[in-house]
C-alpha cells in the first residue's frame, strides 16, 4: 500500500498516524500528503489499510467501519483538512465491495476507498 501511494506521488508523513482527541488516542495506518503545484496547496489524507482475510468479510467490514468512523470523527475536530480513506486490495473490492448490500453501507457511511493492485503496487481507483 505504501509503495502504491508513493508511486502515485504521495509522501508518507506518518506511519502510523496517531490521532488524539481529549483522553483517547487511536492510530490510523499512515498519513500522506500530495502537493498540487497548480493550486499551491497540499492534499492530506489518513489511510487505514484493510485486508479482509478472515473467514467473515462482513465481520471485517464491521471492524473497519468502526475504526473509519472513529478516525473520521476525531480528525474532523483535530485536523479537519485531512480526509480519511480505507485502502483495500483490488480482489477484495471486486469480490466483496461490489455486492449491493456492501455498496449501500459504503454509500450510507460516506466511506472513501483507495483500491490497490497489490501485485503491481499501484492505485487502481479512488472512490468518493
Looking at residue 36, its pLDDT comes to 72
The structural domains of the chain, ordered by start, are 2-127 (3.40.1350.10)
**Rounded mean pLDDT of 4-31?**
95
pLDDT tens, position by position, 27-41? 999 999 998 765 557
Please state whether the predicted TM-score (pTM) of the whole model is above 0.85. Answer: yes
Rounded distance between C-alpha atoms, residue 73 and residue 31, angstroms: 16
What is the structure's pLDDT at 40?
56
Respond yes or no on whether the N-terminal peptide bond of residue 16 is cis (omega within 30° of 0).
yes
Amino acid at each position: 500500500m505504501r509503495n502504491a501511494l508513493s508511486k502515485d506521488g504521495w509522501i508518507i508523513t506518518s506511519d502510523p498516524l496517531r490521532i488524539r482527541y481529549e483522553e483517547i488516542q487511536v492510530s490510523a495506518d499512515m498519513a500522506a500528503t500530495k502537493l498540487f503545484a497548480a493550486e499551491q496547496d497540499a492534499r492530506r489524507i489518513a489511510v487505514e489499510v484493510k485486508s479482509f482475510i478472515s473467514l467473515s468479510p462482513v465481520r471485517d467490514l464491521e471492524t473497519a467501519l468502526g475504526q473509519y468512523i472513529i478516525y473520521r470523527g476525531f480528525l474532523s475536530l483535530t485536523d479537519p483538512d485531512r480526509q480519511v480513506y480505507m485502502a483495500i486490495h483490488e480482489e477484495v473490492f471486486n469480490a466483496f465491495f461490489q455486492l449491493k448490500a456492501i455498496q449501500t453501507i459504503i454509500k450510507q457511511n460516506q466511506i472513501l476507498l483507495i483500491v490497490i493492485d497489490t501485485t503491481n503496487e499501484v492505485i487502481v481507483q479512488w472512490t468518493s
